[in-house]
Amino acid sequence: NVNGYTNCCFGFHRLAVVDQLFGMQPIRVKKYPYLWLCYNGEIYNHVKLQHHFEFEYQTKVDGEIILHLYDKGGIEQTVCMLDGVFAFILLDTANKKVFLGRDTYGVRPLFKAMTEDGFLAVCSEAKGLVNLKHSMTPFLKVEPFLPGHYEVLDLKPNGKVASVEMVKFHHCRDEPLHALYDSVEKLFPGFEIETVKSNLRILFDNAIKKRLMTHRRIGCLLSGGLDSSLVAATLLKQLKAAQVQYPLQTFAIGMEDSPDLLAARKVANHIGSEHHEVLFNSEEGIQALDEVIFSLETYDITTVRASVGMYLISKYIRKNTDSVVIFSGEGSDELTQGYIYFHKAPSPEKAEEESERLLKELYLFDVLRADRTTAAHGLELRVPFLDHRFSSYYLSLPPDMRIPKNGIEKHLLRETFEDSDLIPKEILWRPKEAFSDGITSVKNSWFRILQEYVEHQVDDTMMAAAAQKFPFNTPKTKEGYYYRQIFERHYPGRADWLTHYWMPRWINATDPSARTLTHYKSAAKA
């Protein structure tokens, strides 16, 4: 409870990754008795900023930097200086203000409910807010807080608030303000291909290096695709350089004979990680759907499909290993135009627009999947491709450098690591497999198995009445209907958390799986 305010309270459940001893929240320090901070995230430059501004720390918690920065320069400067992922609520009782903030891509979740008479509640997950009762409104509107924004609210003596402004503090294209204070070696100017490749390698190395910040064991998800393989190989190199004593554990999941398992095994052998393979069958996958949708808080088709594998592998990691901080390749497809439909982009400029749209919506799809499936099992995810410096540099490159070339998507990224021997050549040039497709056997894909199952769960009369039952985001397929049903059981009337389904562009797609696209090149056909 907050001193002097009868109805302000904070609740917190902690996963200790940095400073196990003094990391309880709300974070308060003697110097600022009027500041109360509840925060989830990782601020990778907190030590750097502490030294630069000569802040006196009371704890070793990375989040403490928020209090010092706020005291020094106010909220706008604070959020712009944070290199990392975060969601926070900061209460300033001296100036009677409340601040909410969330990182550029929304890697860390934040939900908010606010009534017309000024009752405010925030939580990392919507499930913490949906059952709150409020006398004025029987149905409390709960919505995701927008990534890359902060909000300023006035705090009244009775604990109620009034919103003053909502500000977008960072666009993914812009170099972040904190770049002024980091120790990355100087990048070379110009867009000559060798220069660009060298800059990308420097920034990618740096993105992984800064993410080693933890007192807990680090592991890595490895699907055998380009993105997770580059992350795993670079991570292993960085751990060696940092003289970390334990072997890197890498984790792959799939059904028997799945292309991902074979590819991941190749990479693990090449880099020398301690590799774990998790096998699952369609029954286990189907059984997990209910708890997956409950954890995710969405009914988006691709997200649910791809989450099952990630949920099951996270469960395995939690139960069988002591790896807690988990690296993963999310964000790369959006940033580097990795989806197969980018081959159909009408122009490099349109492809660039699409890439930025995807990044802006990550918090509804891949980032949501990655956060919720890992956090459900007490793991903490790190996504180096969404590093502010790496991503803003990539987006600053001329549009025609970033499009697919010679029929190969992510050509620039592959070319960048061509001479490094980080990963096997055939993996470096392996075409895209969607995670939900790559984990299943070539003969029968996971989503086909799902669809066969759903066929018996949803009949044609239900489909015929779908538009009446679900007027918003009406499901067009039985699979979509089935997920929506589970979602509505857990979160009745909350369908608007998802603004629209994830779908490929520029082609007449009825199903979001890459395997249904004509461009799809799988080993089965080769």
42 forms beta bridges with 85
Q: Read off φ and ψ for residue 62, nearest 5 degrees.
A: -60, -30
| Residue in the structure block whose two tokens are 């600053």 | 396
Residue 35's alpha-carbon distances to 67, 83, 91, 92, in angstroms, are 7, 21, 6, 5
Distance of alpha carbon 494 from alpha carbon 344, whole angstroms? 34
Rg (C-alpha) for the chain, rounded Å, is 23
State the amino acid at position 151 in one-letter form: E
Q: What are 188's two structure tokens?
A: 């070379």
Angle between helices 259-271 and 226-241 (to 10 degrees): 20
Give the Cβ contact number of residue 13 at 10 Å.
8
Closest-CA residue to 220 (of 246, 201, 186):
246
Q: What are 249's two structure tokens?
A: 């554990």
State the amino acid at position 436 in one-letter form: S
CA 373 to chain centre: 10
Residue 328 annotated in ligand binding: yes
**Residues contacting 306, CB < 8 A, separation 6+:** 366, 369, 434, 435, 436
How many residues does the structure list for the chain? 526
141 close to 121: Cβ distance less than 8 angstroms: no
9 close to 2: Cβ distance less than 8 angstroms: yes
Residue 436 annotated in ligand binding: no
Residue 289 annotated in ligand binding: no
Distance of alpha carbon 511 from alpha carbon 158, whole angstroms? 51
167 forms beta bridges with 150
Residue 253 annotated in ligand binding: yes
Q: Read off φ and ψ for residue 425, nearest 5 degrees.
A: -55, -40
**Residues contacting 127, CB < 8 A, separation 6+:** 294, 297, 490, 491
254 close to 262: Cβ distance less than 8 angstroms: no
Residue 439 annotated in ligand binding: no
Peptide bond between residue 26 and the one before it cis (omega within 30 degrees of 0): yes
Binding site residue list:
62, 221, 253, 328-329
Binding site residue list for ATP:
221, 253, 328-329
Binding site residue list for L-glutamine:
62
